[in-house]
Amino acid sequence: MKNGKTDTGKKDGMSIVSDPANYKKHEMDFNEPQIDEALKPEKSDVSRRNFLKLGGVAAATATVAGAGAAGFKIGRSDDAYTGYGRTYQGGDMFFNREPFRVKTAAMMEPVGKVERPDRYDFIFDRIGEIIGMIQKGVWHPGMGLEKLPGGVGDYYRKHPDKYPIMMDSLQKYGKSREDWKNGKHLRYTLSAAYTEALCQGGMYNRHGATIPEDPDDVFKETGKPIPPEEWDYRHVKREKPMEFKSPQHAAKLIKRMAHLFGTSIVAIGKFDPRFMFTNKMRGMPNGGAEWGGKVPEHWKSIIVFGVPMYWDQTYSAIGYCTSYDAYFRSRVTAGLLERFINELGYPARAQFPGYHYEIMMEPQLLLTGLAEYSRSGMVMVPELGCNVRPAAVVTNIDFEYDQPISVKMSEFCMKCKICAEACPSGAISFEDEPNTVVRGFKRWKLDEEKCYNQWASGQTVDALGCRVCIGVCPYSRKNTWIHTISRELEPRDPTGLVADGLLAMQKNFFRIPKGQDFQSDWLGGKEDVYHNPPWYLRAEEVFEGIEKTWEYHGMS
């Protein structure tokens, strides 16, 4: 068969069937099955596999973006402002100190004979006496050190290197007051108003201290000496004090009340008379110049507490910063707690800033485990760094006492030195270790004359405070998760690698002006700031007539 034809020429049956010309299309053709349209499956544009691939990439991108957004919001969050949010619930005191309790705090082991501080060791008493003498015409700087009378004269003759610095400070004080009077510092109008509101509007009135009451003010009004045996009991009405169930009950209650009265951190310790000034007792003639070394019998326990200065201001020292927001709040706590304890039938005496003390505050913070000592001469609290302004109430209640802590903050200071590098007056020691013996204890000794020299010449409305060291301290940071990681990891790391890493980042990643740059322009400085001031302190953005001749840097 050839070509579908048999040898005889006739067509074969199969070839007839398979010839397309003979093919007739039927309705039910199996090559094209007829299916109901409604049952046809939809064609999907994105398969499940593609969804997972694209979705995975999108989710990864969103994770990184979300992490960044969340981080930024956390950094700006109200919750980050320790001391200004969770205070009344006690939420500011979030660092668990219990794993770090020790018997003796760093730098609190005596290395020599322990001596109590004298009133003239307190620079404000020195300044007060000198200015008082000048105002009364008893002495003036032109008469020289040899003729400077009284205990203050004896002090400067014993430390003659400090005398010229103090005299320079008085001159600079005069110049800076003149500048303010002549309207030079319009730039700082708002921070000045903020400072004065807190100080003159909140802390003091024409009678003296508003809160707490100060026995010196009453002595000035009445002329009658008021010893602590009288003053500390003045509001006690009960025949017998309320008896606590246990020292633990007492401590727990008073700490809770301290938070309710506005403090961020609180601890209680045994009153240590080694850190009580001699010849200093408020309510007595001349501030207790003849008091000697007597320790009131009822000064048994000390409740120590503190609050931070507002964070944004602190970072924009010098001109935009003040101590008074924290001073005012810690004074309120001191006054309220003092009265509360009196109401329970116990004596109480508030020790409060700026200069209403018979005691040195900082050792008490160390002894009670609130803080550790630092290079700058201040104490450092885990929650607040150096940004803490303490006050205290002394009483005779039996408490369960807190113990000191060791969280390696002082060890960090040995390597860090950022505060010393940023100090405008060079008052902070650069020694690697605290080698200066001060009244029996090793310290990094702050040169308070140089420190005050900066205050007197600075841009603040009252020539008080500089606070650069507080703002630049790596521990003085708000409460965000990255600082929490540092705070928790660093004291637990025996190798010191965490501290080294953190310090390397601190020194290389962050812009910190040099000390000279913080100074006033008439001293060759730039009035620079670590952080830009918050908007509500930028007078040029709110008021007419203030020409902006300075620059802000970085993020506003």
Residues of this chain that bind other proteins (CB under 8 A)? 49, 52-60, 62-64, 66-78, 80, 312, 315, 477-478, 480-482, 505, 508-511, 531-532, 554-556
Q: CA separation (Å) from 200 to 135, 206, 207, 356?
A: 22, 9, 11, 16
Cβ 530 to other proteins, closest distance in Å? 10
In the bound state with other proteins, the residue whose beta carbon lies nearer, of 340 and 530, is 530
| Beta carbon nearer to other proteins, 290 or 500 | 500
Q: Are the C-beta atoms of 129 and 152 separated by less than 8 Å?
A: yes
Residue 83 or residue 215: which is nearer to other proteins going by CB? 83
Tokens coding 15: 């070839």
Complex with other proteins: residue 145 or 489, whichever CB lies closer: 489
Q: Which C-beta is closer to other proteins: that of 213 or that of 312?
A: 312
Beta bridge partners of 389: 307
Query: DSSP labels for 139-155?
Result: --GGG-GGG--HHHHHH
Residue among 391 and 472 whose Cβ is closer to other proteins: 472
- Residue among 159, 394, 397, 133 nearest 281 (CA): 394
Alpha carbon distances (Å) from 196 to 4, 189, 192, 193, 461: 118, 11, 6, 5, 8
CB 342 to other proteins: min, Å: 40
In the complex with other proteins, the residue whose CB is nearer, 14 or 46, is: 46
CB of 488 to other proteins, least distance (A): 15
Pick between residue 80 and residue 123 the one whose CB is nearest to other proteins. Answer: 80
Min CB(481)–other proteins separation in Å? 7
Secondary structure of 57-104 in the HEC alphabet? HHHHHHHHHHHHHHHHHHHHCHHHCCCCCCHHHCCCCCCCCHHHECCC
Q: Of 37 and 78, which has the nearer Cβ to other proteins?
A: 78
DSSP 203: I
| Least Cβ distance, residue 395 to other proteins (angstroms) | 39
CB of 512 to other proteins, least distance (A): 10
Task: For the CB of residue 311, give the shortest distance to other proteins in the complex, in Å.
Answer: 9
For residue 266, which of 253, 248, 277, 247 has the smallest C-alpha distance?
Answer: 253
Pick between residue 2 and residue 511 the one whose CB is nearest to other proteins. Answer: 511
From the number of C-beta atoms within 10 Å of its C-beta (0-12, 13-18, 19+), residue 26 rates as: exposed
CA pair distance 282, 275, nearest whole angstrom: 16
Q: Is 123 exposed, middle or buried (0-12, 13-18, 19+ CB in 10 A)?
A: middle
Query: CB 500 → other proteins: shortest distance, Å?
Result: 15
Contact 179, 461 (CB under 8 A): no
Which bin fits 104, alpha (ψ -120 to 50), beta or left (φ > 0)? beta
- Of 26 and 48, which CB lies nearer to other proteins in the complex structure? 48
- Which residues, 6+ apart, have CB-to-CB distance to 190 below 8 Å? 536, 537, 538, 539, 542
CB of 377 to other proteins, least distance (A): 26
Nearby residues of 542 by Cβ (< 8 Å), 6 or more positions away: 190, 536
Measured in degrees and rounded to the nearest 5, phi and psi for residue 171 equal: -65, -45
CA 191, 192, 197: angle at the middle one, nearest 5? Answer: 100
CA distance 379 to 388: 8
Residue 521 beta carbon to other proteins: minimum distance, rounded to whole angstroms: 24
Q: Helix or strand or coil: residue 391?
A: strand
Contacts of 33 (CB under 8 A, 6+ apart): none
Closer to other proteins by Cβ: residue 92 or 214: 92
Residue 466, token pair as written in the block = 């500089």
Phi and psi angles of residue 204, each rounded to the nearest 5 degrees, phi first: -135, 150
- Closer CB to other proteins, residue 80 or residue 170? 80
Rounded Cα–Cα distance for residues 328 and 333 (Å)? 9
